[in-house]
Amino acid sequence: MNLEAMVEKIGVYQPNTPTDLLEKAYNFSKDAHSDQARASGERYFVHCVAVAETLIDLRLDLPTVCAGLLHDVVEDTKVSSQDLKREFGEEIALLVEGVTKLETLRFNSRDEAQAENWRKMLLATAQDIRIIIIKLADRLHNMRTIHFLPCDRQERIAYETSSLYAPLAHRLGMFQLKSELEDLAFMVLHPKEFAELDAEIKAMTASRETSLARFKAVLESKLQATTIPHRILARSKSLWSIYQKMQRQEKNFREIQDAMGVRIITDSLANTYALLGLVHTEFKPVPGSFTDYISVPKMNLYQSLHTTVMGAQGELIEIQIRTEEMHRTAEYGIAAHWRYKMQEGSIDLHLEEKLNWLRQWIEWLQDLKSPREFLESLKTDLELHQVFIFTPKGEVKVLPAGATPLDFAFAVHSEIGMACIGAKVNNKMVKFDYVLKSGDTCEIVTRKGSTPKENWLTVVKTARARSKIRQFLREKGIVA
């Protein structure tokens, strides 16, 4: 993408924006990287443009796009942070500084370097969410061009992408980006399985698309009789999500019925439920397939109604029903919320909720001194698979898969976790290392004056619980 194309695309969502700064950043980055090439042999500047292009596709503001163009100048050229601040101002300089890696020579191991770089980036992100969006755009282009690297580096980068970057994109609700990162990592880490599944999908695509088109036509004819505003979109699962489902359910690809489906987008919350009623009236729903992520949103603020119905030929079709706003959030996640804040100049409660979660989460992670423990806690808290646990009063707590009653206790309240002496799950006493399952009702038994034990650190999974326990034990001189 050249400069003119960038200006044109930004003008679509930010009309009348002065583009002098963009032109300056474009030329500054081009000059700074002029003597550098990538492993592919391309000019290094091509990467900077690709990162900026992704940020434009996410419809981010001009300073963020400029920071995307400049994101590597401090790390990889002779340009200093002071130079950048002088040329482009404090806002852009801080965004670039946030994604700039710490010098790896300072560290004793790769684990330590990786942990400290993640810690630095997350701390910066807590102040400005745009930093992690730039970093995700950077990683996306690096993954798209990863095949030019030696195999050992490909595997290391792909593993970090699948275990940290893709889950973080998921946690921030950026599903399009997350799915592409997962598929690109899948291709590197499991090349044989990727190739086999890709070939199977291509072989069946024509018949599945015909079946889906037929179902959409019938669905549209049924919905046209209503006055409810709506539009219908086709949906297909990513290769990695299909592969994971095959592994979990021990099925082959032909047995995975919901690899394709439809989304119905409407204008209001009330109409999502009205459309659900119509769908269930016209098509036979599959028992146990309905999930209401509107009443109980996911941790990343995702909201939608999910149901699976049977088509005329006996095929199973997954249907997602959501409002236009829910759809924007599902596609762009935190980037969409930032955009609304930018456009309206007001506080977006969803964005503030997301940032508060991030700030608190980073505070807990800060307490973990071991680089390996920090990375493992980060991966656990980014776990894509979550469980929904009920309190005795019917409140829902969302925890990562593998969480225990102690994690639940600290999720309810720190004081309850600290005084915990036992737990009941579905009215039966369980051990602290019991693994909670979605739908469990957990009741925590407490005793005044009771305190955390050192062996709790081997039981808990979440950064919050681990941080609170370690803080108490450190104050008592039990652990360093």
Q: Catalogue the active-site residues.
A: 75-76
Sign (positive/negative) of CA torsion 107, 160, 339, 51? Answer: positive
Token pair of 106, please?
């300072």
Write the DSSP assignment of 430-474 as a string of letters. Answer: E-TTPPP-TT-BEEEEE-TT----GGGGGT--SHHHHHHHHHHHH
C-alpha torsion 461→464→467→473, nearest 10: -80
In the chain, the amino acid numbered 352 is E
State the number of CA atoms in the 13 A half-sphere of 34 facing the CB. 7
Three-class SS state of 313: coil
Bridge partners (DSSP) of residue 310 are: 284, 316
Q: Given CA atoms 14, 18, 23, 24 in this order, what sign does their dihedral have?
A: negative
d(CA 76, CA 72): 6
Q: Which residues pair with 423 in a beta bridge?
A: 430, 444
Output phi, psi for 236, to 5 deg.
-130, 145
CA torsion 156→157→163→164, rounded to 10°? 130
Give Dmax over CA atoms of the chain in angstroms. Answer: 71
Q: Is the dihedral of CA 77, 82, 85, 90 positive or negative?
A: positive
Given a contact cutoff of 8 angstroms between Cβ atoms, the answer to whether 102 and 116 are in contact is yes
The tokens describing 101, both together, are: 């890696």
Distances in Å between the Cα of 240 and the Cα atoms of 166, 167, 245, 394, 420 are: 11, 13, 9, 34, 39
Closest CA to 169 of 178, 182, 160, 161: 178
Q: Which region holds residue 42: left if phi is over 0, alpha if psi is between -120 and 50, else beta?
A: beta
- With beta carbons less than 8 A apart as the criterion, state whether 333 and 175 touch: yes
